Amino acid sequence: MEYAKMRAIAEELGAYAEHLEGAWSVEIGPSGPVLAMRRPSKRHAGTIRRIRKQLDAQLPVTHPGYICANGPEIEHPGIGRMRLPDAAVIPEEALDEEGLAVDATQVLAVVEIISPSDPDNDHIEKLADYPAMGIPHYLIVDPRTGTVEVHSEPCKGRYTRKDPYIYGDKVPFGPWTVETADFRRYGKAGDSAARAGLAAPHRP
């Protein structure tokens, strides 16, 4: 199906979702437009806030004019994909442009926080889509396990580098650093994974 047709279907689904209870999102993945209910927990939202706050403090030095935004949609018509990341590093002026989505060529990095209900979406589908869209850096945070993955160096539609970390690490993410000591796991009484006694992964 042509991307224009998929985009039209996605917009129809989005309009339909406005009349439903709860929060919904529409993305265009490998199987086409998908409508999914969004039920982010408070710890999911808290993790995104901490990451955005840290990146926004560093971006004026590394990339003046860029921000870490909560959304919007990003799209790559050439490969027929439209995604709504938890956060994306984009030019601030892109938010003043007409339209619904930011072109993927403008995106420096994306961040996803794993949802307990659908972990494969971030670990499998989006891990394939983001490098295919040409996005240089992808940060996956998993509050279920207290782990972090940094994917980078996209080549031929996949990331060729993966660096694992745990909560408590200072995580290099492209030219930035994400401090994870205050991140919270799902189902834990407020302790970070590091304080809960997880062993750090081997660093080559």
Q: Is the pLDDT of residue 196 over 60?
A: no
Task: Provide the pLDDT confidence category of residue 23 given band limits of 50, 70 and 90.
Answer: low
Q: Specify if 78 maps to a domain.
A: yes
CATH number at residue 45: 3.90.1570.10
What domain range is 147 assigned to? 40-179
Q: Specify if 27 maps to a domain.
A: no
Whether the model clears a pTM of 0.75, i.e. scores above it, the answer is yes
Section 112-117 average pLDDT: 86
Distances, alpha carbon 57 to alpha carbons 14, 53, 65, 183, 190, in Å: 33, 6, 12, 18, 25
Per the listing, tokens 């971030």 go with: 122
* 172 membership: H or E segment, kind and range: strand 170-173
pLDDT of residue 197: 44
Q: Specify if 66 maps to a domain.
A: yes
- Six token digits for residue 29: 């993945």
In terms of DSSP bridges, do strands 176-179 and 170-173 run parallel, antiparallel, or are they unpaired? antiparallel
Q: Specify if 107 maps to a domain.
A: yes
Q: Specify if 195 maps to a domain.
A: no
Distances, alpha carbon 141 to alpha carbons 24, 52, 103, 111, in Å: 21, 13, 24, 8
Task: Provide the pLDDT confidence category of residue 88 given band limits of 50, 70 and 90.
Answer: very high
**Contact partners, residue 20, CB within 8 Å, separation at least 6:** none
Section 36-48 average pLDDT: 78
Q: Specify if 21 maps to a domain.
A: no
Q: Specify if 170 maps to a domain.
A: yes
pLDDT of residue 18: 67
pLDDT of residue 195: 43
Task: Provide the pLDDT confidence category of residue 98 given band limits of 50, 70 and 90.
Answer: confident
Q: Specify if 17 maps to a domain.
A: no
On average, the pLDDT of the chain sits at 85
Section 65-89 average pLDDT: 92
What is the number of residues in the chain?
204
Domain count, the chain: 1
What does the pLDDT look like over 157-169, one tens digit per residue?
A: 999 999 999 999 9
pLDDT of residue 29: 73
